Amino acid sequence: MSAGKHVVPRPNGEWAVRNSGAAKATKVFGTQAEAIKFGRSIARRDGVEFYVHRKDGTIRERDSYGRDPYPPKG
């Protein structure tokens, strides 16, 4: 995982926001929607990538709030 904030599922059904590579969650929420709202706001603040994972752990959404390594051309 590259530098950024991740919204990830927890085994008990909750959702956590954590930094890339971190074992501990920054904050835990009861719903994915709450976790996304919080995670997106801190990703914007910190100017980093933002990832939302599905319940199976795969990435379903990604946004870049920092310097985009692949900016659009034109």
Q: Residue 71 has what pLDDT?
A: 66
The predicted-structure confidence for 8-53, as pLDDT tens digits, reads as follows 999 999 999 999 999 999 999 999 999 999 999 999 999 999 999 9
Handedness of CA 38, 44, 46, 49 (dihedral sign): positive
Map out the domains of the chain as residue ranges: 4-64
Could you tell me if 15 and 32 are in contact, meaning their C-beta atoms sit under 8 angstroms apart? yes
pTM of the model: 0.85
DSSP-based three-state secondary structure for 3? coil
Q: Which residues pair with 62 in a beta bridge?
A: 51
Classify each residue of 8-19 as buried b or exposed e, where b means 16 or more C-beta atoms within 10 Å of its C-beta. bbeeeebbbbbb
